[in-house]
A = this chain, B = another copy of it.
Amino acid sequence: MIEHAFDRAIALAAQPDGSFLGHTSPDYGNMVGPYGGVTAAQALNAVLLHPERRGEPVAYTVNYAAPVSEGAFTVHARPARTNRSTQHWVIEMLQQGQTVLTATAFTALRRETWSAAEHTMPAVPPPGNVPLPAREPRVEWVNRYEMRFVHGGLPATWDAREETMSRSQLWVRDRPPRPLDFASLTALSDVFFPRIWRRRASRVPVGTVSMTVYFHADAVHLAATGTGYLLGQAQAQAFSKGYFDQTAQLWSEAGELLVAAHQVVYYKA
């Protein structure tokens, strides 16, 4: 029996033709369809489970091509190019023969080199000093994460007053805690509520169309983080004619930048 909801959600069954069969999980339900972070993790998992994979994920881009319906899906992951210590993947998720997601991934064997942080973790109170939100979430997937907002939580009232800045900072981890891996780190990269809701205090319709995750963490960083909290930060750079971008970081509690993530989001306003 798979104990953790996240492991159940990303479970894939290898098919005779080399593809993978998965199912959406009601544990990660969103307003319409599943939480996009888990969909991204499901598609990446086809690479992680692939018998030809070489190395660990370094870059991953996922494009949400159509709403994912509740039920089964197929993931095709193809190593388009395999080099000595790197590999490029092309990924596609289908439902009823129609593409619902496209993605590319880059995996590599990493090695010790000179390394340095540049975007260091902001000074914030430790997770134990930051309360959980009092309100009940409106969507199921939010229950799967422990989110402690340091700054920029959901607006207290949806009064459409306009803020000048969309930044949020929160301590976050799986609920219940689960040792961090590349799949869960991918899902966590999408954990931020839409920046336009924060900026405009208005719950306008939105949908992520593309997300890119750069993994600065390797397996050593993941093991060191374990079930600890991550500090997440997200901010938009511009809202322009129906699409805004978001730039995000996730640091371990020890202050290592594990992920730099970016997305572009459709909005109706």
Contacts and interface: CB of A to CB of B under 8 A. Distances in A.
A80 B102 contact: yes
A135 interface: no
B269 A114 contact: yes
Contact of A116 (B65, B90, B239): B239
Contacts of A102: 80-81, 88, 90, 104
Q: Interface size for chain A: under 10, 10 to 19, 20 to 34, or 35 or more residues?
A: 35 or more
A66 B247 CA distance: 28
Interface stretch (A45-53, A186-194, A206-214, A223-231): A206-214
A59 B242 contact: no
Interface stretch (A3-11, A142-150, A172-180, A260-268): A260-268
Interface string A60-74: 010101100000000
A100 B83 CA distance: 11
A207 to B, nearest CB: 10
Interface string A12-35: 000000000000000000000000
A257 interface: yes
Interface string A78-117: 0011010010101010000011101110101011111111
A243 B264 CA distance: 23
A111 B242 CA distance: 7
B106 A241 contact: no
A119 B238 contact: yes
A177 B86 CA distance: 38
B264 A58 contact: yes
B165 A106 contact: no
A110 B241 contact: yes
A119 B257 CA distance: 22
A262 B214 contact: yes
Contacts of A119: 237-238
Contact of A210 (B106, B113, B165): B106
Given A108-B266, A212-B212, A240-B257, 12 more contacts: A58-B209, A61-B61, A90-B102, A110-B243, A117-B239, A118-B235, A118-B236, A118-B239, A214-B262, A237-B260, A247-B247, A262-B262
Closest 3 A/B residue pairs (Cβ): A65-B81, A119-B237, A59-B210
